[in-house]
Chain A
Amino acid sequence: MADAAVSLRGVRKLFGSAAAVDGIDLDAQQGEFLTLLGPSGCGKTTTLNMIAGFLHPDAGSIHLAGRKVDDLPPFRRDIGLVFQDYALFPHMTVAENVAFGLRMRRVDKAEIAKRVAAALDLVKLTGLDDRRPLAMSGGQRQRVALARALVINPKVLLLDEPLSNLDLKLRETMRLEITEVQRRTGVTTILVTHDQGEALVMSDRIAVMNRGRIEQVADARTIYERPATRFVAQFIGNMNLLDVVAVGPGGGTTCAVRFGAQTLTVAAPQKLEAEQHVLLAFRPERSTLLARPKDDAALELAGTVRQHVYLGTRTEVHVKLTNGASCVVELANDRGGTPPAIGSAVTVRIDAADCTAYPTESCG
């Protein structure tokens, strides 16, 4: 097997006595776009800083393109780094900013000019060579930062929350642009973000981090549709959680669970104990509303409509269940259909295939 472009083995970092990164293993393949996604304080930025060489792991090791880099300072690692605040050199022009990394590598002048022009072309900033970063918009600055990081042909491109300082519309455009530039250059890329939308749109694979550990590494679809842990299930998108009882010991693949008089077999990625309370998770948009129960293989929950939340393309219907719990059903706003009136009795129906059971205590 070819060496991974980036490879982390048992990497740990302590701040004081607390582990910011608590022993993670992670591989990014050549040309892959990998995202570290997680809430603030989950250790994703610390991980990035260790790959960049700004922090030294307390345990474990990091390889870039098959080479152990633990003892290499940042300036010998051949990485491209894009910061949230752009970090452009204010006393240099755009061209000088982009040329900086090449100048440090003692590339000759003519070659620098050629590569700077190509890099500015790549990020659609042709002709802005002589501008000062301060005279540019946030989006333009971020493109300069991207060009500056890419022009050195780094072994890996690290993006540290690169879009957080931009407004919503621009952020959505830049997501696609960065993804396109990455595809075209084929540079192995690691993105750090807390924005799940960004992660879902941009990544080949997503590593969801929580409390210094990686909870799941998978492509966007798997992360969203088959979250491996309760944390992932709750962190990505909206999720209904229902208290049910595991019928028999199970887990790893599937497990039978009981809710009231209904029993059904659902996915269960983690181990579950018999007769223990477990959490049944299902997505609002995979649930439907019925006027009365059908009594077949699906899970059916009786309740009353409490609230409508109109979201343009969809409407959220909040339902209070007869056992006191509540859940949300998301209905597409296609022509004609109106959600059941507030106060009306309904049945929430979810296919067993759209349910996943998790241990109650697994939020860590």
Chain B
Amino acid sequence: MRTRNIPWAMLRGTVVLLYLFILVPIVITVSVSFNAVNQSKFPPLGFSLRWWADAMSARWLQPLAFSIELGLVAAVLSMLLGMPLAFALVRHRFPGRDALTTLALGPLALPALVTGIGLLQFIHAAGLGFLFGFPTLLIGHVLICLPFSVRTTAISLRAMPPNLELAALSLGATPSTVLREITLPLVKSGVFAGGVFAFIHSFTDYSISLFLSRPGTQPITITILSFLEYGFAPTLAAVAALTLVVPLVLIAIVQRVFRIGDFLYAENARG
């Protein structure tokens, strides 16, 4: 019995290590934000909430709100664009399909920095410089978020038994009714999972935003980055903890409403 348990123990050990690796930095960051001194000490020296008060000022909350807004709009747009794109790529064979696949999934493979520089050049060349700020950021973020929603929607579509739609047709449902009553409800969890990934990707992005934002319309990542030039203060730890809460809350809400777990554990979603 002992020998047979060795692989199991190793697996458990690995999982514990993995969680430590993920969680320990978070614990350190959060505790640093409670320092009583203006130093990033761990364990913290004393206890104070002054850095949290700092973090709650408009200086930080405004870019945070901006990032949330940008992430939400980018996620919704990439869901709306990604869905028809995934349908076309999964359901149809047409000339240029491979090219479209590459275009839709490309930004995932390309370093975001390259995409950012490319977009910057393009916007200047196209004379769209007046768009700098939210519009350009949105274009860039939709571009890098699109692969996520295309992927997850495509996976949901592929996992759906093809006969479901034929069965609905045979029962008298018109193609648009089939789409509304059968197809969309069944790919919904994939679409929203893609939306969550897209939001998180947009919310944590800085390499695209670096090129496309301008002062006054800065996402939180860029604000943190510029602050870092003056060194690390416990304020930053508090801000970082704040930015951690946003995606967590979002995942909790979406999971509650749209059951993206069904997507992640696709077996349950099958017929």
* Contact present for B171 and A134 (CB under 8 Å): no
User: Does B268 make an interface contact (CB < 8 A)?
Assistant: yes
Residue of B nearest to A90 (CB): B271
Proximity string of chain B (220-236) to chain A, C-beta cutoff 8 Å, 1 when within and 0 when not? 00000000000000000
User: CB-CB < 8 A to A184: which residues of B?
Assistant: none
Interface residue count for A (Cβ, 8 Å)?
31
The interface-forming segment of A32-40, A74-82, A314-322 is A74-82
* Contact present for B166 and A85 (CB under 8 Å): no
User: CB-CB < 8 A to A86: which residues of B?
Assistant: 271
Which residues of A (138-197) have their CB < 8 Å from a CB of B? 145, 148-149, 152, 158
How many angstroms from the CA of A230 to the CA of B173 in the assembled complex? 44
Pick the contact of B271 from A52, A100, A104, A133 — CB < 8 Å? A133
* Contact present for B185 and A91 (CB under 8 Å): yes
* Given A91-B185, A100-B173, A101-B171, also A134-B166 (CB < 8 A): no
The minimal Cβ–Cβ distance linking A51 to chain B, given in whole angstroms, is 11
How many angstroms from the CA of A152 to the CA of B168 in the assembled complex? 12
Residue of A nearest to B173 (CB): A104
The minimal Cβ–Cβ distance linking A44 to chain B, given in whole angstroms, is 17
* Contact present for A148 and B171 (CB under 8 Å): yes
User: Does A114 make an interface contact (CB < 8 A)?
Assistant: no
Main SS class of interface, B: helix
* Contact present for A90 and B174 (CB under 8 Å): no
Pick the contact of B167 from A73, A81, A91 — CB < 8 Å? A81
User: Does B161 make an interface contact (CB < 8 A)?
Assistant: yes
The minimal Cβ–Cβ distance linking B268 to chain A, given in whole angstroms, is 7
User: CB-CB < 8 A to B121: which residues of A?
Assistant: none
* Given A75-B172, A101-B172, A133-B271, also A87-B182 (CB < 8 A): no
Residue of B nearest to A78 (CB): B172
User: Does A245 make an interface contact (CB < 8 A)?
Assistant: no
Residue of A nearest to B167 (CB): A87
User: CB-CB < 8 A to A231: which residues of B?
Assistant: none
The minimal Cβ–Cβ distance linking A69 to chain B, given in whole angstroms, is 13
* Contact present for B163 and A105 (CB under 8 Å): no
Interface centre among B173, B177, B185, B271 (most CB of A within 10 A): B271
User: CB-CB < 8 A to A145: which residues of B?
Assistant: 167
User: Does B269 make an interface contact (CB < 8 A)?
Assistant: yes
User: Does A235 make an interface contact (CB < 8 A)?
Assistant: no
Which residues of A (70-117) have their CB < 8 Å from a CB of B? 73-81, 83, 85-91, 100-101, 104-105
The minimal Cβ–Cβ distance linking A187 to chain B, given in whole angstroms, is 14
Pick the contact of A75 from B161, B169, B182, B185 — CB < 8 Å? B169
The minimal Cβ–Cβ distance linking A286 to chain B, given in whole angstroms, is 42
**Total A-B pairs, Cβ < 8 A:** 75
User: CB-CB < 8 A to A149: which residues of B?
Assistant: 170-171
* Given A87-B271, A90-B271, also A104-B171 (CB < 8 A): yes
* Contact present for A105 and B172 (CB under 8 Å): yes
User: CB-CB < 8 A to B166: which residues of A?
Assistant: 52, 54, 74, 81, 83, 87
How many angstroms from the CA of A77 to the CA of B161 in the assembled complex? 22
User: CB-CB < 8 A to B164: which residues of A?
Assistant: 87, 89
User: CB-CB < 8 A to A133: which residues of B?
Assistant: 271
User: Does B142 make an interface contact (CB < 8 A)?
Assistant: no
Pick the contact of A100 from B161, B168, B268, B270 — CB < 8 Å? B168
User: CB-CB < 8 A to B270: which residues of A?
Assistant: 90, 134
User: CB-CB < 8 A to A76: which residues of B?
Assistant: 172
The minimal Cβ–Cβ distance linking A155 to chain B, given in whole angstroms, is 12
* Contact present for A100 and B171 (CB under 8 Å): yes
* Given A133-B271, A134-B268, also A89-B170 (CB < 8 A): no
* Contact present for A89 and B268 (CB under 8 Å): no
How many angstroms from the CA of A80 to the CA of B166 in the assembled complex? 11
Interface centre among B168, B170, B181 (most CB of A within 10 A): B170
User: CB-CB < 8 A to B77: which residues of A?
Assistant: none
User: CB-CB < 8 A to A79: which residues of B?
Assistant: 170
User: CB-CB < 8 A to A91: which residues of B?
Assistant: 185-186
* Contact present for A80 and B271 (CB under 8 Å): no
* Contact present for A152 and B271 (CB under 8 Å): no
Residue of B nearest to A98 (CB): B171
User: CB-CB < 8 A to A83: which residues of B?
Assistant: 163, 166-167
Residue of A nearest to B166 (CB): A54
Proximity string of chain B (144-178) to chain A, C-beta cutoff 8 Å, 1 when within and 0 when not? 00000000000000000101101111111111010
How many angstroms from the CA of A267 to the CA of B166 in the assembled complex? 45
How many angstroms from the CA of A81 to the CA of B185 in the assembled complex? 22
Which residues of B (166-225) have their CB < 8 Å from a CB of A? 166-175, 177, 181-182, 185-186
How many angstroms from the CA of A77 to the CA of B169 in the assembled complex? 10
Residue of A nearest to B188 (CB): A91
* Given A74-B166, A81-B166, A152-B171, also A89-B271 (CB < 8 A): yes
* Contact present for B269 and A87 (CB under 8 Å): no
User: CB-CB < 8 A to B269: which residues of A?
Assistant: 90
The minimal Cβ–Cβ distance linking B175 to chain A, given in whole angstroms, is 8
Please name 30 pairs of A and B residues whose Cβ atoms are closer than 8 Å in the assembled complex, sorted by A: A52-B166, A52-B170, A53-B169, A54-B169, A74-B170, A75-B172, A75-B173, A75-B174, A75-B175, A77-B170, A78-B172, A80-B170, A81-B171, A83-B166, A85-B161, A85-B271, A87-B164, A87-B166, A87-B271, A88-B167, A89-B168, A101-B172, A104-B171, A104-B172, A104-B173, A104-B177, A105-B172, A134-B268, A145-B167, A149-B171
Which 7 residue pairs are nearest across A and B when measured between Cβ atoms? A101-B171, A104-B172, A87-B163, A87-B167, A81-B170, A90-B271, A74-B169
Add 11 more A-B contacts to A90-B270, A134-B268 (CB < 8 A). Answer: A75-B172, A75-B173, A75-B174, A81-B167, A86-B271, A87-B164, A89-B182, A91-B186, A105-B172, A134-B271, A158-B170
